Amino acid sequence: DIRIVSLTITEGGYCIDDSNGQFMAHLPQIQHDLANPNQPKTVFGFLCAALARRRAEGTPAFTLMSCDNLPHNGAVTRKALLTFAALRDA
């Protein structure tokens, strides 16, 4: 049973615009994942698919741990994932 998922991705993999701190939902890979939730390409697509599957199965969510060397990595991960999930569920 998976309880912790650790992330080690490039800073660009978070899809956060350095100039304003916003999630870049317009990126082609993000648009792909939103249109094809069962065939994700990005980390956020995979995470949302895994969490949706766990929810459907009644399995508790896992803890997500960012191991990347970027300021406030946990807050960045949270913002990106929650923004992606909101777009996916819209």
Asked whether residue 4 carries a pLDDT value surpassing 90, the answer given is yes
pLDDT tens per residue, range 27-65 = 999 999 999 999 999 999 999 999 999 999 999 999 999
Mind listing the pLDDT tens digit for each residue in 16-26?
Answer: 999 999 999 99
- State the average pLDDT over residues 65-76: 93
Query: DSSP letters of 45-68?
Result: HHHHHHHHHHHHHTPPPPEEEE--
CA distances, 62 to each of 28, 36, 59, 67 (Å)? 27, 23, 9, 16
* pLDDT score recorded for residue 1: 85
> Are the C-beta atoms of residues 30 and 44 closer than 8 Å to each other?
yes
Tokens of 30: 């993000």
